[in-house]
């Protein structure tokens, strides 16, 4: 359940994160999709974010950051929603920049052999 999650993660482009800080809220659901279009912002637990990055961001060439989000600081609700055989946290509203306790730059992924 979402109450058990203290920290969640979101892979973002550095440009989207910079724009969110300037605007006062992060509203990118996933690469190229807005919160308004999707209805929530995709997030991941600590054991999920690397797989999400490999699956959905492997071809992204612009700089990426890993947003480390303190759930208690969010103004929007978080739910664990079923996705396939697992569940993923989703943020049902903008992410307050103050809820992001770190934005860790991600090195480019090595190409798959």
> What is the per-residue pLDDT across 66-105, written as a single tens digit (0 to 9) for each?
999 999 999 999 999 999 899 999 999 999 999 999 999 9
Domain ranges of the chain: 2-106
Domain 2-106 belongs in CATH node 3.40.50.970? no
Expressed in angstroms, the distance from the first to the final Cα of the chain is 37
Q: Taking a C-beta distance cutoff of 8 angstroms, is the pair 5, 47 a contact? A: no
Structure tokens at 76: 């929007």
CA distance linking residue 10 with residue 104, whole number of Å: 11
Instruction: Say which residues have a Cβ less than 8 Å from residue 23's Cβ, sequence separation at least 6.
Output: none
**pLDDT tens across 20-66, in order?**
999 999 999 999 999 999 999 999 999 999 999 999 998 899 999 99
Res 1 pLDDT > 60: no
Burial classification of residue 68, based on how many CB atoms lie within 10 Å of its CB (0-12 exposed, 13-18 middle, 19 or more buried): middle
Give 41's contacts (C-beta < 8 A, 6+ positions apart): 10, 26, 27, 28, 29, 30, 35, 90, 91, 93, 94, 95
pTM above 0.75, yes or no: yes
């Amino acid at each position: 359940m979402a109450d058990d999650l203290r920290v969640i993660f979101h892979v973002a482009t550095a440009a989207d994160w910079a724009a969110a800080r300037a605007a006062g809220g992060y509203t990118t659901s996933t690469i190229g999709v807005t919160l308004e279009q999707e209805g929530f912002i995709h997030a991941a637990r600590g054991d999920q974010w690397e797989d999400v990055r490999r699956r959905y961001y492997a071809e992204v060439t612009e700089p990426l950051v890993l947003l480390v989000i303190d759930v208690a600081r969010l103004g929007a609700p978080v739910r664990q929603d079923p996705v396939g055989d697992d569940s993923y946290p989703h943020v049902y509203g903008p992410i307050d920049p103050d809820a992001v306790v770190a934005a860790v730059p991600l090195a480019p992924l090595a190409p798959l052999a």
